[in-house]
Structure 1
Amino acid sequence: MAQAAGIHIEMPLGVVVRKTPGVTRWARWSWRAVAVLPGAGPADWAELRREGEAVEYHAATLPLTLWAADAEAYRINLADGVPSIYLVLRETDQDDRPLDAVLVTASPYEGQDYADTADDIVEKIPMTPGLVAWVRDFTLQHHHAEPFVKRRRDRKRVDLVEDGRGDARIRQQADVYRAPRRKAVQ
């Protein structure tokens, strides 16, 4: 998603993806994002750990960008029971690399926008305590609550108009619509 120029900060964020055997005959493998690595260096599907058939990969390192204009969304994320990072993945045709990591965001609204399309997979990954503090500090610095302004009614009298009386050019008492008649041509 394109973002307008403004106040922002950025941090490289590594993404850890776990590959486990599938539980059905239709899916040979199950892929799931399980962790983030704040401040990680570049990676391209580097194997981190192997336990039997389960393998964890440092799939990619993407920039996590926080925008001042999205501070309200970050506040909502932090208020959630488990503050999370949203990872957007796209399927590829390659066997050794079936997913491409496209984006990481701390905005649940942006994560929802990507989840609404059928092309992307959005994984919710819990934030580390240090990452929670980093996002919280940025949010506190840039979030400005907008005061609630109650809408006032105008003083116009709306009960004076009789709707549903049909064509105003025809005099009638009933609540029936009648089209005006054309004058006969002689």
Structure 2
Amino acid sequence: MAMTEASREVGVVVRRRSIDNPWIDQLWSPAMILDEVPSTAPWTALSTEADATTYYAGSASIDLFSAETANYRDNLADGAPRIWVALRRQDGGAELELTKITADPTEGEAMFESGCDVIGTVPMPPEIASWIAAFVDRFHVERVFHKRKRDRASGDRPRVPGGRPDEGTGRT
């Protein structure tokens, strides 16, 4: 079965805050997703406050796959759908590279284990939520759960969890 795919380019905005910490001077976090890619150059400062600067990090692609529609549906049904954003330091320096964004909660959670330097979530813009909902409506197929049955042909006897094969059977 061929996997259906859709893709949409969006803009990503991040924030750098100065913090009082003996080990790091600043903290980066995703700030928002723009439903359209602006003509602004990547890493342009958008606003500066006393302790924070907001940057347009650049564009990234949200990729949708028909095999993952249940995950997108769960994200949308949550009431506050999210987009996961990952950034990585370039060559160990201070510069960040936008590496991945996703609307799939399972993939988003896996990004936390990927070794990226900055990972966070931002609210999903309504236009993107509508686009994802239309994709789910078009391609979602409910999958029936089939419970596996244990193969008792090998003569397995019931076991007590953590015990020897004889325990719990009355045999000694």
Q: TM-score, normalised by structure 2?
A: 0.78
Which amino acid is the alignment partner of residue 61 of structure 1?
Answer: S
The aligned runs of 1:31-180 (5 Å cut-off) are 31-41=28-38, 43-92=41-90, 93-95=92-94, 97=95, 99-149=96-146, 164=166, 175=172
CA contact (8 A) 2:8 2:63 kept: yes
Distance 1:32 1:130 in 2: 22
Q: TM-score, normalised by structure 1?
A: 0.73
Report the CA distance between 1:134 and its aligned residue: 1.0
Distance 2:82 2:157 in 1: 55
CA contact (8 A) 1:11 1:39 kept: no
Structural RMSD (CA): 2.9
CA contact (8 A) 2:10 2:36 kept: yes
Distance 2:137 2:129 in 1: 12
Which amino acid is the alignment partner of residue 130 of structure 2?
Answer: A
Q: Does 1:18 align with 2:6?
A: no
The SS at the match of 2:107 is: helix
> Residues 160 and 114 (structure 1 numbering): CA distance in 2 closer, same or farther, change over 3 Å?
closer
Report the CA distance between 1:6 and its aligned residue: 2.7
> Residues 141 and 27 (structure 1 numbering): CA distance in 2 closer, same or farther, change over 3 Å?
same
CA contact (8 A) 1:12 1:41 kept: no
| Alignment gaps of 5+ in structure 1 | 165-173, 176-186
Residues 93-146 of structure 1: per-residue CA shift (max 9 Å, x gap)? 333x2x211011111111122212344532111101111111111111111112
The SS at the match of 2:43 is: strand
Distance 1:133 1:112 in 2: 22
> Residues 94 and 150 (structure 1 numbering): CA distance in 2 closer, same or farther, change over 3 Å?
closer
Distance 2:152 2:144 in 1: 24
Report the CA distance between 1:34 and its aligned residue: 0.8
Instruction: Count matched residues.
Output: 159
CA contact (8 A) 1:90 1:119 kept: yes
Distance 1:27 1:66 in 2: 36
Residues 68-96 of structure 1: per-residue CA shift (max 9 Å, x gap)? 1111111111122310111111123333x
Give the structure, 1 or 2, with the largest relative contact order (CA under 8 Å, sep 6 or more).
Answer: 2
